[in-house]
Amino acid sequence: MHRAKPSLVRRRLYGILERSAVDEPLVHAVHIGLILLIVINVTAVVLESVPAIRHDYRTLFIAIETVSGVVFTVEYALRLWCAPEYPPWHAMSPLRARLRWLISPQSLIDFLAIVPFYAAYWDAGGLRAFLLLRLFRFFKLARYSPGLTSLMDAIHAERRALIACGVILLGAVLIAASAMNLVERDAQPDKFGTIPEAMYWAIVTLTTVGYGDVVPITGLGRAIAGITAVMGLVMLALPVGIIASAFAREIHRRDFVVTWSMVARVPLFSDLDATEVASVMQRLRSQSCSPGELIVRKGDEAHSMYLIASGDVDVMLPHEPLRLGTGDFFGEASILHRRRRSVTVKAATACRLLVLDADDLHQLMEANPAMSAHIHDVMRKRGEERAV
């Protein structure tokens, strides 16, 4: 009995911190508050670099740093305590799970974000440079941004290819620097006299920065410079292309997983095998709606069924509207029975819908008798048709 209570509290805190219950107002309030605090911190660091602003608003900056340090410390401690609730570490002992969390990348960012507060508190004069670590709080936003999370996942997935690109780039620097040292060292011994000195020029040229403070003056040197500049375009395009492709794949994978889970949850499709679910997904199209926008109107012909990917819609029933949210669906009964819409549906919030046209659904059923039989069986078992 006594051991269950801390576990329940820990699970509840984990749900708040990791947004496992995204529809709760408390979860939204906590995460919006943390995001605002991070933005305020980064803004304060930038403005504090201006002497006049730092002098006039010194008290405000101290207050921001104090509140931020306390809040981020409490957040860090709570996340450490909740580490055993993270799915990958469920089977571990609490101590081992917390140790694993301490060395995770996001934990290290959280730690570096609170170090400046304590460095400033103890007035560690020799550690003033650590105050720049306050900018690490910006990277805490990655936890609250699916896009940034996807980008980091893409970089991690392609880490070997990116390391290979780095090795190739280093090889190109060495070759270009060695060649330029060979042909320019007599003409410009102060700039190309050694390979390490020539490496500065090679790095600047290969990265397409081209400061112009070190340039070749011999004909052969200029030819090598031209080849090096062209190589630089290729060297930069290679990692950019790798990251862009990986990022696109990661976004597509996340959308695929979300769409798959939504299709599989729909009662009409819940018992379909993987091939049949995939055939449904290929025919889905996306539709975005703004708040108050009519999606279907009573009396209109039924052309599509809808799955709600995000947001809420209101089904305008005679007595009171019926609110449908993410994961719900509507409109299938009308297209299966080829009848007009019996009610109006409008967007209650900004929402994204996945639309399956009536012709596509009927073609799927005609092409796949097993799917058709299953869908009609589901409709019979439900006993009543959806109102839309």
Ranking 144-153, 165-174, 240-249 by mean pLDDT, the lowest is 144-153
Q: What is the rounded CA–CA span in Å between residue 116 and residue 337?
A: 66
CA atoms within 13 A on the CB side of 11: 8
Taking residues 44-73, what's their average pLDDT? 87
- For the segment 305-319, what is each residue's pLDDT rounded down to a tens digit? 888 877 889 988 888
Evaluate if residue 1 carries a pLDDT over 50: no
Q: Write the single-letter amino acid at 187.
A: A
Ranking 34-48, 69-83, 268-282 by mean pLDDT, the lowest is 268-282
Taking residues 13-40, what's their average pLDDT? 80
Q: Write the single-letter amino acid at 57.
A: Y
Phi-psi region of 86 (alpha: psi -120 to 50; beta: other; left: phi over 0): beta
Evaluate if residue 199 carries a pLDDT over 90: yes
pTM score of the predicted model:
0.58
Q: What is the pLDDT of residue 90?
A: 75
Q: Write the single-letter amino acid at 256.
A: F
Q: What is the pLDDT of residue 387?
A: 43
Q: Which CATH number fits domain 267-382: 3.40.50.2300, 2.40.160.20, 1.20.1250.20, 2.60.120.10?
A: 2.60.120.10
Ranking 36-40, 67-71, 363-367, 378-382 by mean pLDDT, the lowest is 378-382
Evaluate if residue 135 carries a pLDDT over 80: no
Alpha-carbon torsion, ordered 244, 246, 250, 252, to 10 deg: 70
- For the segment 253-307, what is each residue's pLDDT rounded down to a tens digit? 777 766 777 777 666 676 677 777 777 777 888 888 888 899 998 888 888 888 8
159-252, CATH topology level: Helix Hairpins (1.10.287)
Look up the CATH number of domain 4-143: 1.20.120.350
Q: What is the pLDDT of residue 181?
A: 92
Taking residues 339-365, what's their average pLDDT? 85
Are 4-143 and 159-252 the same fold in CATH?
Answer: no
- For the segment 86-110, what is each residue's pLDDT rounded down to a tens digit? 877 777 888 888 898 888 888 888 8
Domains in the chain: boundaries: 4-143, 159-252, 267-382
What are the backbone angles phi and psi of residue 206, rounded to the nearest 5°?
A: -65, -30
Averaged pLDDT score across all residues of the chain: 81
Whether residue 208 contacts residue 233, with contact meaning beta carbons closer than 8 Å, is answered with yes
Q: What is the pLDDT of residue 127?
A: 43
